[in-house]
Amino acid sequence: MKVTVSLIKADVGSLPGHHRVYKDQLELAKKKLHEAKETGLLIDYHVFNAGDDLELLMTHTKGVNNPEIHKLAWDTFTEVTEKVSKALKLYGAGQDLLVEAFSGNVRGMGPGVAEMEFEERKSEPLLVFAADKTEPGAWNLPLFRIFADPFNTAGLTIDPTMHDGFDFVVHDVMEGKEVMVHCPAEMYDLLALIGTVSRYVISRVYRHRDGEIAAAASVTRLSLIAGRYVGKDDPVLIVRAQHGFPAVGEILEAFSFPYLVPGWMRGSHNGPLMPVPLKYSQCTRFDGPPRVVGLGFQLCNGRLIGPVDLFDDPAFDTVRIKAAEIAEYMRRHGPFMPHRLGPEEMEYTTLPAVLEKLKDRFKEA
Ligand code: F6R
Ligand code: MG
Ligand code: MG
């Protein structure tokens, strides 16, 4: 059976400030998706939050980029905005809904989308990840480690079905182009691109030997769509696991190092990505540090069996402590780079105004 998994998210308001989705928003979103399940449009759904982002995980048989599914997500976000966020004066009500009317596909309209369609295997373990206070390039490092680094994923060397490697589709967010790069053959080319996380973003990964989809991520950046700052596009990711794909533990292993990502306060600072259980899915210190949640399911004819809250485990306690230590270290830099992002990457800046004010006082040195 061919099943499509769609993970569509938007920040449609939160409390207090940009911290957390409110329970009434989650309830209304669940109600909307439940109705869609009753009509047969969805096979199943799961609603959750990553900090201030409302996450709609849906399964169906309509394929990717389907107008009915995207409209359902759009209508859910707008209804939550009107009936809860605005009614309760939550902060940033509807902030990611950038256009007035839906035109067939939520891509480019504000919400983030990760989708994949595949033939459901005899047993289909599926993991989804959602991060807050960062951007889509945040998945580059873990996706590389999961699908290309044998020091992370033992299966790359010892599982014959993974031994031919994986193909990475890299999206250039500035040009709106993409390129497919094979790993391990073109590993250095891949790394040369994806080290620039603000521009080259892994959007999909396929198993090389048979072209099976292995992972799909959201790639849009709100700042570029809107031409003005409306918040970093907090990213989502879907990964298939086991039996010819990396094991669940190999996928989670990639999050055992709290690497630095751009985002955090005002979308303008580097900070460590902290893997957290859902109960800690709220950014606090300096609107952070940036966080990631992970949920694990088994698919059963499209039904979502689960979830397991994957980072709700003492094995990740030391990662969180390390992330908190790195957060402290970075914070001590205050307004200085590399804590603060470079001028071209900052989502907020007074630099042009400062330069304008001082322009007549700049003298030849
Ligand atoms: C970052 C983020 C927050 C806000 C910050 C200021 O993605 O959402 O860090 O940038 O709280 O928000 P405003 O300008 O709404 O007061
Ligand atoms: Mg917000
Ligand atoms: Mg957010």
- Structure confidence by residue, pLDDT tens digits, 85-122: 999 999 999 988 877 778 788 877 789 999 999 999 99
Give the integer Cα–Cα distance in Å for 281 and 28. Answer: 19
Q: For residue 250, how many C-alpha atoms fall within 13 Å in the half-sphere facing its CB?
A: 27
Residue of 9, 32, 133, 232 marked catalytic = 232
Ligand 1 atom with the smallest distance to the CA of 11 is 8
pLDDT band at 229 (very low <50, low <70, confident <90, very high): low
Q: Collapsing DSSP states into helix, strand and coil, what is residue 315? A: helix
Which residues in 253-289 are b (16+ Cβ under 10 Å) and which e? bbbebbbbbbbbbbbbbbbbbbbbebebbbbeebbbb
- Residue whose CA is at the smallest distance from ligand 1 atom 2: 266
CA of 285 to the centre of ligand 2 (A): 15
pLDDT band at 223 (very low <50, low <70, confident <90, very high): low
| 16 pocket-lining for ligand 1 (C-beta < 6 Å) | no
| 145 pocket-lining for ligand 1 (C-beta < 6 Å) | no
CA of 119 to the centre of ligand 3 (A): 32
Predicted local confidence at residue 227, as pLDDT: 59
Mean pLDDT of the region 197-203: 93
pLDDT band at 261 (very low <50, low <70, confident <90, very high): very high
Mean pLDDT of the region 176-186: 95
Mean pLDDT of the region 329-343: 95
188 is annotated as an active-site residue:
no
Ligand 1 atom with the smallest distance to the CA of 265 is 9
Residue of 91, 172, 229, 259 marked catalytic = 229
| 267 pocket-lining for ligand 1 (C-beta < 6 Å) | yes
| 232 pocket-lining for ligand 1 (C-beta < 6 Å) | yes
| 291 pocket-lining for ligand 1 (C-beta < 6 Å) | no
Tens-place pLDDT, residues 50-88: 999 999 999 999 999 999 999 999 999 999 999 999 999
pLDDT at 176 over 90: no
CA of 55 to the centre of ligand 1 (A): 19
The candidate with the shortest Cα–Cα distance to 183, out of 153, 155, 163, 154, is 163
| 340 pocket-lining for ligand 1 (C-beta < 6 Å) | no
| Residue predicted with more confidence, 109 or 271 | 271
37 is annotated as an active-site residue:
no
Predicted local confidence at residue 97, as pLDDT: 85
- Average pLDDT of the chain, as a whole number: 94
Mean pLDDT of the region 160-166: 95
CA of 265 to the centre of ligand 1 (A): 6
Mean pLDDT of the region 282-289: 97
CA of 324 to the centre of ligand 1 (A): 20
Predicted local confidence at residue 345, as pLDDT: 81
Predicted local confidence at residue 103, as pLDDT: 79
| 266 pocket-lining for ligand 1 (C-beta < 6 Å) | yes
Predicted local confidence at residue 220, as pLDDT: 73
Give the integer Cα–Cα distance in Å for 75 and 90. Answer: 18
Phi, psi of 35 (to 5 degrees): -60, -40
Mutational test site, ligand 1, from 265, 340, 347, max ligand atoms within 8 Å of CB: 265
Predicted local confidence at residue 346, as pLDDT: 79
Cβ contacts of 330 within 8 Å, gap of 6 or more: 260, 269, 270, 271, 272, 339
Angle at 241 between CA 255 and CA 186, to 5 degrees: 70
| 70 pocket-lining for ligand 1 (C-beta < 6 Å) | no
CA of 19 to the centre of ligand 2 (A): 7
Structure tokens at 316: 């990740």
DSSP 175: T
Give the integer Cα–Cα distance in Å for 45 and 35. Answer: 11
Ligand 1 atom with the smallest distance to the CA of 287 is 9
11 is annotated as an active-site residue:
yes
Predicted local confidence at residue 232, as pLDDT: 64
